[in-house]
Structures are given as structure tokens and as C-alpha cells.
């Protein structure tokens, strides 16, 4: 069954994906950490937002050296988050509401406590030795090559007992699996089938482009473009990322999904367009249904630059490839902190009216911001390992508890529960779901109107995209205007990226009907010739 309104399209094309970080969404048992029963309790809220699919960041058993991205058992639930039975309830309740559930698949590495790795490191001749990437020390006893961990330091750790180094592209408790070993390939396909058999609708695949490494283990060259921000950026990662061989592997994963009905896979891919497009595969050899397009997260917030970015992406997207857009996730500073609360409304209008599948990060719908984390409370491994650049690489600030109400613990936990695992935002008594639900002009009220408008409009959900030239150079520099069109419906989206009023001056005849302003305070007829946007205003206008 599909809740899809437009039968020509699939759920993951027309619907909005909502990402939940399970530790931080809802704590049902009062231990200060979110859990699966908590998420189940909040499903009516999620449904009411107009979301089609929920993506859960990892909820598997894990020693939590990277907060669940270090998986110790791919086919179970971490007791902190609940049980497999709790998961089954969650899945059934999601489906009961006509929504989909996607899991985070983390195939590149396991936890160092995964039984596979315990076996692998137990001796050089263990049958699973080759499931991970082991290398002899360099002649001087040092690391086998210059590869770096994303989280600071070398990507190699020495194992005293067996006298070799193992590879880990993240923390040392996250050893990389060896996908040149076909048993590993098959084991991960079994993991996929385990969840697909349960009825899970798809996967977000963690660092999908890192799964294959250079067979010769060559040193990576120094990057000519290093900006000095992070040590990892110093090398050009040509031997650890986006190798041609990774695409065979992804095609194989896609085949597993395609042997089921109506499932999907979105890959985590931070890449320029030319490299990104390869991850769609070809009509004969498909890869990801969607390779994440993170350009809006990384974009300088400038109307002309964003327009060019959208136009360029649209121009190179193969005809049969479906676009997608993202404003935030658990690895990036909060949208509202990056570009400010006023522009966050404009950005959400952009996200939800561009062509393609939008992915929203929990809390962005109420305008949550980064929460400053006092030094003694920092938990995220890159921030702990590299304290001098914790403000750049630390991800705790965007992972704080969801703000549900103004009570102690913000409704994330009961008022008398244990203190939450990360601090609450100082402003949670104002910025929370309950408060914003009772205010018709709040961020949440705005977000829901926008979601509903998108859903009700074929032009916005599946229509074509075309950006427009504006009347004056000033408007051109500060505003981004585009048209979406489908089934005889035409919608114009006009976004003011500046804090000044802008006269748009469209060379379109007559008038249109303004159906939504970011400020929620105007509707009705507007003359195109003198269309004016107020500071930080975005509008959707029906033609
Ligand atoms: C991805 C995840 C990130 C995690 C890393 C290692 O980038 O999004 O949170 O730390 O992979 O699994
Ligand atoms: Ca809990």
C-alpha cells in the first residue's frame, strides 16, 4: 500500500523525509536518553507535520564511541533505545499511519566490539582476519601509509597481539570492513535482508563512497586546496574515497533492494555534481535512488550563488535521476544558527519548493538552534580528539534534546527524569512544540502550512523547475525567483535573501495569487510588475 497522492511517482519522490536522532528525540523511560518507545509516542506529531518517511539514525547495539555509528550488532536494538519488540511496534505504528520507516545502514565500518572484529583481531590466521583491513607496519615500525582519520590522527591503529595495523577512517573503535572479501559483501547483504524482511522501507547508507580503498595502499597526495581548517583536509582523498570499484558494490546493494517491493536507498555523499551523479548509476545499472545532495548545507547564503547552484544541479541531473535537497543533519551546525532565524524561514521555503525530495532534520521545524556545549560536557569524538577546533568539528550542538514543551526537561523526559545526555537549549521555554502550536505565526505553524501547500500542489511536488531573471541588478543579487509547473498548474516562488525590502519587478503580465508568505500575514492578488518582497520574506504565488 502506498499513501502516495500521485500514482505516477513513488513515495520517496513526492514525500518529505524527516531525520530523527534517536538519542535526542523523546525519552520514554526517564534515563535522559531518547528511545524507540519515545519515538512511537510522538508519531502523531510527525504525521501531523505532513512527513512521508522517518529516517532513524543508528539504534543498534553499540558501545557509543561514535554515538551508534560504531555498530556492534547489525540485527538488534541497543538496550538503551529499547528492544527488537519495541522496534517492531514502532515500525507497525509508522505503517499504520501511512508513513515509511528508513534505517541508517553503516556498512563501511563496525564497532571494534563487533564479534566479527573480535574474531578478526584474535589471530592472523582466524578465518575472519581478512574481513577487516590489516597491514604490516612500515619498515620503521610506523603506520603503513599516510592515510588519516576523519576524526583526527592517523587512520591506522597498531594491534600489539598480532603485530599489524588495522584501518579505521573514523575513531579507532570503528575498524573498516574489507569489501574486497566477498564474504563481507554477502554478510552486509544479509543485514539488509534482515530489515527488509521485517518491512523496513529503505536505508540511508553511511559514508557510502568510502567502502572501497586503494588495493595498493598508496599514500594520498597533499591537497592543493587545503584551507587549514581541519587536519583531515590536508590530503586529497583519492585512495580512500569514491574509488571506481565502490560502484560495483553499490549496484549489488541496489539489487538486494530491488528484489523487494517499493524500497529505497539514499547514500551519504558530500560531492561536487560530476562525482555525485555517478552514484545514481545508469538505467541499466542502478545505484542509489538518491545520492544526498548537501549543497544547501555547504552553500554561502547568497541569492545569486544559490540560484546558480540549483540551476547547475538541475542542468547536469540525468533525465531519469530524481533530485533531492537537504538543509541540515546530525553532522552539521543547525540551519537557524548558520543563516539566522529569519532566513531559516526562507531556506525552508526553498527546501520545500525546489524540485526533488526534501530531507528535514528533527527540530528544524521549530527553528531549533545550536546549543553551546560547555567544555566539560563535550562528548562527540572529533571535538574530544581535537579540542582546539571543537567549535568547527564538534557535533553535539546540533544533537541536543528535542524541545516539546516548557516544563523541566522540555518534555523530552518527564520533569523528574535524569538530566538529559546533552544540555537543553537555554530558550526552550519559548522555542518548543507546545508553545509554537498555540501561536499561528510561529515557525512551526509556518512549517506546517508550507508542508501542506507542497503536498496539495502538483507543481510543487512534481513540477518542472525554471529560474527567472529579475528586473533590476539589485533584486537579481538579493532575490531568487523560480517557477514550478505541472498538470496545468504554475507556481512562482520568490525568495528575498536580504534584510532589505526588494522590488522584484517581474516581466510577467497581470497578477497572481499569493498563497503563502514566510510571515503568514498576507495572501491574495499581487501585480507582477510591482511585486515587492519585505526583508527576509519568501512568497509562493499561484499563477
Ligand atoms: C557519517 C555519519 C557521522 C558518523 C560517520 C562515521 O558521516 O553521518 O555521524 O560519525 O559517518 O560513521
Ligand atoms: Ca530513555
Q: Hey, which of 69, 109, 240, 241 would you mutate to test ligand 1's pocket, going by the most ligand atoms within 8 Å of its Cβ?
A: 69
Say whether both 70 and 149 belong to one domain.
Answer: no
Q: How far is the CA of 256 from the centre of ligand 1 (A)?
A: 23
CA distances from 351 to 17, 50, 268, 466, 540 (A): 12, 15, 18, 15, 13
Expressed as residue numbers, the domain containing 437 is 11-108+182-209+264-445
Whether 219 is covered by a domain: the verdict is no
Which of 416, 445, 474 is the last residue before a domain boundary? 445
Query: Do 290 and 439 reside in the same domain of the chain?
Result: yes
Q: Tell me how far the alpha carbon of residue 535 lies from the centroid of ligand 1, in angstroms.
A: 37
Please state the pTM of the whole predicted model: 0.97
Q: Does residue 216 form part of some domain?
A: no
Q: How confident is the model at residue 456 (pLDDT cuts 50, 70, 90)?
A: very high
Domain assignment present for 258: no
CATH number of the domain at 44, please: 3.20.20.80
170 CB near ligand 1 (under 6 Å)? yes
Do 326 and 407 belong to one domain?
yes
* Number of domains into which the chain is organized: 3
- Do residues 97 and 119 both lie within one domain? no
Residue 283 lies in a domain: yes
End-to-end alpha carbon distance in the chain: 34
- Determine how β-strand 489-496 pairs with β-strand 538-542: antiparallel
When pLDDT is cut at 50, 70 and 90, the band that residue 144 belongs to is: very high
Provide the pLDDT confidence category of residue 240 given band limits of 50, 70 and 90: very high
**Which residue among 204, 326, 331, 383 is best mutated to probe the pocket of ligand 1, counting the most ligand atoms within 8 A of its Cβ?**
331
Do 352 and 468 reside in the same domain of the chain?
Answer: no
Per-residue pLDDT band at 3 (split at 50, 70, 90)? very low
Which ligand has the shortest distance to the CA of 421? 2
> Does the CB atom of residue 265 touch ligand 1 within 6 A?
no
Position 530 confidence tier, pLDDT thresholds 50, 70, 90: confident
What pLDDT, on a 0 to 100 scale, did the predictor assign at position 2? 42
What does the pLDDT average to over 259-267? Answer: 98
- Last-in-domain residue among 415, 445, 475: 445
Ligand positioned closest to the Cα atom of 329: 1
CA distances from 457 to 13, 156, 538 (A): 14, 52, 17
Nearest to 237 by CA among 215, 210, 216: 210
Q: Which atom of ligand 1 is nearest to the CA of 331?
A: 9
The domain that holds 124 is classified in CATH as 3.90.400.10
369 and 486 co-located in one domain: no
Q: How confident is the model at residue 506 (pLDDT cuts 50, 70, 90)?
A: confident
Q: What is the pLDDT of residue 5?
A: 58
State whether 66 and 130 are in the same domain.
no
368 C-beta neighbours (distance < 10 Å), count: 27
| 482 CA → ligand 2 middle, Å | 45
Give residue 422's Cα distance to chain centre. 20
Q: Please tell me if the CB atom of residue 311 comes closer than 6 angstroms to any atom of ligand 1.
A: no
Query: Is 415 domain-assigned?
Result: yes
Instruction: Please give the grid coordinates belonging to residue 329.
Output: 543533519
Enumerate residues 6+ apart whose C-beta is below 8 A from 474: 502
Confirm or reject: Cβ of 434 under 6 Å from ligand 1.
no
Residues annotated as catalytic (active site), given as ranges = 206, 268
Mark the residues whose beta carbon lies below 5 A from ion ligand 2. Answer: 27, 29, 31, 33, 35
Predicted pLDDT at 471: 82
Asked which of 445, 471, 494 is the last residue of a domain, the reply is: 445
Q: Look-up: residue for cell 560502484? A: 247
Cβ contact 517:538 at 8 Å: yes
Distance from CA of residue 387 to its chain's centroid? 25
Residues 400 and 468 grouped into a single domain: no
Report the 10 Å Cβ neighbour count for 344.
Answer: 26
Residues 313-317 have a mean pLDDT of 98
Question: With 90 as the cut, is the pLDDT of residue 509 above it?
Answer: no
CA distance 173 to 96: 38
Digit-coded pLDDT (tens) for 118-128: 999 999 999 99
With a 6 Å cutoff on the Cβ, whether 70 touches ligand 1 is: no
Q: Same domain for 151 and 274? A: no
Distance CA 378, CA 387 (A): 9
Mean pLDDT of 425-431: 98
Region 87-96: mean pLDDT is: 98
DSSP letters along 17-60, please?
EEEE-GGGT--SSSSSS--HHHHHHTHHHHHHHT-SEEEEPP-S
From the CA of 34, the nearest ligand is 2
CATH number of domain containing 488? 2.60.40.1180
* Residues 370 and 485 grouped into a single domain: no
Mean pLDDT for the chain overall: 97
How many angstroms does the Cα of residue 108 sit away from the middle of ligand 1? 10
Confidence check: pLDDT of 1 > 60: no
Taking only the tens place, the pLDDT of each residue in 17-66 is: 999 999 999 999 999 999 999 999 999 999 999 999 999 999 999 999 99
59 within domain boundaries: yes
Query: Ligand 1: does its nearest atom lie under 6 Å from the Cβ of 60?
Result: no
pLDDT in tens, 319-346: 999 999 999 999 999 999 999 999 999 9
Decide if pLDDT at 4 tops 90.
no
Do 434 and 483 fall within a single domain? Answer: no
How long, in residues, is the chain?
A: 543
**Residue 448 has what pLDDT?**
98
pLDDT tens profile 356-386: 999 999 999 999 999 999 999 999 999 999 9
Decide if 252 is inside a domain: no
Q: In the predicted model, is pLDDT for residue 163 greater than 60?
A: yes
- Across the range 203-212, mean pLDDT stands at 98
Q: Are residues 308 and 195 in the same domain?
A: yes
User: Is position 246 within any domain?
Assistant: no
Weakest mean pLDDT among 53-57, 278-282, 509-513: 509-513
Amino acid at each position: 500500500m502506498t499513501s502516495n497522492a500521485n500514482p505516477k511517482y513513488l513515495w520517496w519522490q513526492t514525500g518529505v523525509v524527516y531525520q530523527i536522532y534517536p538519542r535526542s528525540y523523546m525519552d520514554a523511560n526517564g534515563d535522559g536518553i531518547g528511545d524507540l518507545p519515545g519515538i512511537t509516542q510522538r508519531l502523531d506529531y510527525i504525521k501531523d507535520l505532513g512527513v512521508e518517511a522517518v529516517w532513524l539514525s543508528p539504534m543498534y547495539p553499540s558501545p557509543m564511541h561514535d554515538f551508534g555509528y560504531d555498530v556492534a550488532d547489525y540485527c538488534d536494538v541497543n538496550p538503551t533505545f529499547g528492544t527488537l519488540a519495541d522496534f517492531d511496534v514502532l515500525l507497525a505504528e509508522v505503517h499504520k499511519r501511512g508513513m515509511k520507516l528508513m534505517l541508517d545502514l553503516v556498512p563501511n565500518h563496525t564497532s571494534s566490539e563487533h564479534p566479527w572484529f573480535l574474531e578478526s583481531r584474535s589471530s592472523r590466521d582466524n578465518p575472519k582476519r581478512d574481513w577487516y583491513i590489516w597491514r604490516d607496519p612500515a619498515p620503521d615500525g610506523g603506520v603503513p601509509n599516510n592515510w588519516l582519520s576523519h576524526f583526527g590522527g592517523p587512520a591506522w591503529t597498531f594491534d600489539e597481539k598480532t603485530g599489524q595495523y588495522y584501518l579505521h577512517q573514523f575513531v579507532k573503535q570503528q575498524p573498516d570492513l574489507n569489501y574486497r572479501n566477498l564474504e563481507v559483501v554477502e554478510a552486509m547483504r544479509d543485514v539488509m535482508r534482515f530489515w527488509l524482511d521485517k518491512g523496513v522501507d529503505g536505508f540511508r547508507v553511511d559514508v557510502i563512497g568510502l567502502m572501497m580503498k586503494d588495493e595498493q595502499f598508496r599514500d594520498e597526495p597533499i591537497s592543493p586546496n587545503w584551507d587549514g581548517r581541519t587536519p583531515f583536509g590536508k590530503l586529497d582523498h583519492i585512495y580512500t574515497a569514491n574509488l571506481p570499484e565502490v560502484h560495483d558494490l553499490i549496484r549489488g546493494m541496489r539489487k538486494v533492494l530491488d528484489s523487494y517491493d517499493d524500497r529505497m536507498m539514499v547514500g551519504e555523499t558530500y560531492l561536487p555534481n560530476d562525482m555525485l551523479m555517478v552514484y545514481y548509476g545508469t538505467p541499466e545499472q542502478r545505484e542509489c535512488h538518491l545520492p544526498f545532495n548537501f549543497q544547501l548545507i555547504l552553500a554561502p547564503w547568497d541569492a545569486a550563488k544559490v540560484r546558480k547552484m540549483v540551476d547547475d544541479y538541475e542542468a547536469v541531473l540525468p533525465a531519469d535521476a530524481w533530485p533531492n535537497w537537504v538543509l541540515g543533519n546530525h553532522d552539521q551546525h543547525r540551519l537557524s544558527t548558520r543563516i539566522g532565524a529569519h532566513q531559516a524561514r526562507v531556506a525552508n521555503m526553498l527546501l520545500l519548493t525546489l524540485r526533488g525530495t526534501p530531507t528535514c532534520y528533527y527540530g528544524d521545524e521549530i527553528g531549533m538552534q545550536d546549543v553551546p556545549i560547555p567544555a566539560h560536557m563535550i562528548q562527540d569524538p572529533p571535538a574530544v580528539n581535537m579540542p582546539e577546533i571543537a567549535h568547527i568539528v564538534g557535533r553535539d550542538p546540533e544533537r541536543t534534546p528535542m524541545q516539546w514543551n516548557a516544563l523541566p526537561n522540555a518534555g523530552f523526559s518527564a520533569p523528574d527524569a535524569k538530566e538529559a545526555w546533552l544540555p537543553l537549549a537555554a530558550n526552550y521555554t519559548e522555542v518548543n512544540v507546545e508553545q509554537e502550536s498555540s501561536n499561528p505565526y510561529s515557525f512551526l505553524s509556518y512549517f506546517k502550512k508550507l508542508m501542506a501547500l507542497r503536498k496539495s500542489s502538483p507543481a510543487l511536488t512534481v513540477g518542472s523547475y525554471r529560474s527567472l531573471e529579475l528586473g533590476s541588478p539589485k533584486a537579481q543579487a538579493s532575490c531568487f525567483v523560480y517557477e514550478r509547473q505541472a498538470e496545468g498548474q504554475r507556481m512562482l516562488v520568490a525568495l528575498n535573501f536580504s534584510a532589505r525590502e526588494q522590488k522584484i519587478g517581474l516581466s510577467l503580465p497581470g497578477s497572481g495569487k499569493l498563497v503563502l508568505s514566510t510571515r503568514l500575514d498576507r495572501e491574495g492578488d499581487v501585480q507582477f510588475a510591482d511585486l515587492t518582497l519585505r526583508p527576509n520574506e519568501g512568497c509562493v504565488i499561484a499563477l
